[in-house]
Amino acid sequence: MPRLVMKFGGTSVADLARIEAAAERVKREVERGYDVAVVVSAMSGKTNELVGWVRQTSALYDAREYDAVVSSGENVTAGLMALRLQAMGIDARSWQGWQVPVRTTSAHGAARIEAIETAALDARFADGVKVAVIAGFQGLSPENRITTLGRGGSDTTAVAFAAALNAERCDIYTDVDGVYTTDPRIESKARKLDKIAYEEMLELASLGAKVLQTRSVELAMRYKVRLQVLSSFEDKPGTLVCDEEEIMESKVVSGVAFQRDEAKLTLVSVADRPGIAAAIFGPLAEAGVNVDMIVQNISEEGRTDMTFSCPVDDVLRAQTALEAARDSGAFEYQELVVDTGVAKVSIVGIGMRSHAGVAQKMFRALADEGVNIKVITTSEIKVSVLIDRKYLELAVQALHDAFELEKAT
């Protein structure tokens, strides 16, 4: 039998009525002849509640017990989904991560999947089980402890199972009906995409689009898993994430992404010498600061300024790490200038590879609206700029208009 993976997020299984609606979708795929692996998240809000209980119980909690607690939300959903399917006359069984097993690293709270042993699932499908309901977000460490994969980890679970089971497709059901050219809450003319290339989706996910978790897209691209993003609440086509070759003709720019809560930090007057960048960014990495855009100014008399961006929530950690490194004698700087009022806006498109002048068009559109650019970074298929946060919505709308993203072709 062909196999299909269906993943339902928290809002899609928020209560018993929605679990029943999701089960109806699964039943339809079984009737089409598929053996189905259903990956479920915890009911909406349940993971936050469990995290809150852990923190109230112990401020300095044991990460292993944290995982034992917060993974339980998915177990409940999986059992309820299996029961609902059985009531519909479908041979279904639930599986927790350790039962499969899903082998992961030992990084509790942020484990990575290393292998999925499918022999037991294969045997059950061969025996006539039509649906395996799998608790997402969780796995088993080498020490045989429950692990969790980090927020959004159920997307990663679903893609990993699609690869391991050689599934025809992985359908991600969520509270949106696909991937849009930008956030419709900011740009009313945002258009849903029928198809998007893996590379574009990976860039959009990493740049702030919340539809899919970045790691899930990385896995899909590596193992060529065809992903489909669909609405749990409407029966209409979604967006297919696939190989570039499946897209007949791509627009130069496919979407505009943004990250609202960014900060810009500048180290003023550091030594311009070999190894200075490693001396600066090594302590930041050790402190867990997620550094993004990096710009080094032109050197004058052996000194230079180093500017980088990071999430606003990482600023305090960055300041502490840099001050400690300076105090230890690793490097010197005159001043650390922090601007917490910036945002990042990016354009993404595989069509940039074969078209010149894309960056100039972006910069002109922003200039025409009086938006000043503070930092610029580019890659083969994206251009990102750092701007004052108060101009974020204006910038997104201006770029969406400049590249006519409301038009299909």
378 annotated to a ligand binding site = no
363 annotated to a ligand binding site = no
15 annotated to a ligand binding site = no
180 annotated to a ligand binding site = yes
Q: Is 67 within 8 Å of 148 (Cβ atoms)?
A: yes
How far apart are alpha carbons 240 and 256 in whole angstroms? 18
174 annotated to a ligand binding site = yes
Phi/psi of residue 38, nearest 5 degrees: -105, 120
How does DSSP classify residue 190?
-
8 annotated to a ligand binding site = yes
Beta strands in 146-226 (DSSP E): 146-148, 170-174, 195-197
251 annotated to a ligand binding site = no
Q: Which residues, at least 6 apart from 309, have a Cβ–Cβ distance to it below 8 Å?
A: 262, 263, 264, 265, 291, 292, 293, 342, 344, 375, 386
Helix residue ranges per DSSP H, 174-267:
198-206, 214-223
Q: Which two tokens stand for residue 343?
A: 């945002």
302 annotated to a ligand binding site = no
211 annotated to a ligand binding site = yes
Q: Is 44 within 8 Å of 233 (Cβ atoms)?
A: no
Phi/psi of residue 52, nearest 5 degrees: -60, -40
What residues form the annotated binding site for substrate?
47, 74
What residues form the annotated binding site for ATP?
7-10, 174-175, 180, 185, 210-211
What residues form the annotated binding site?
7-10, 47, 74, 174-175, 180, 185, 210-211
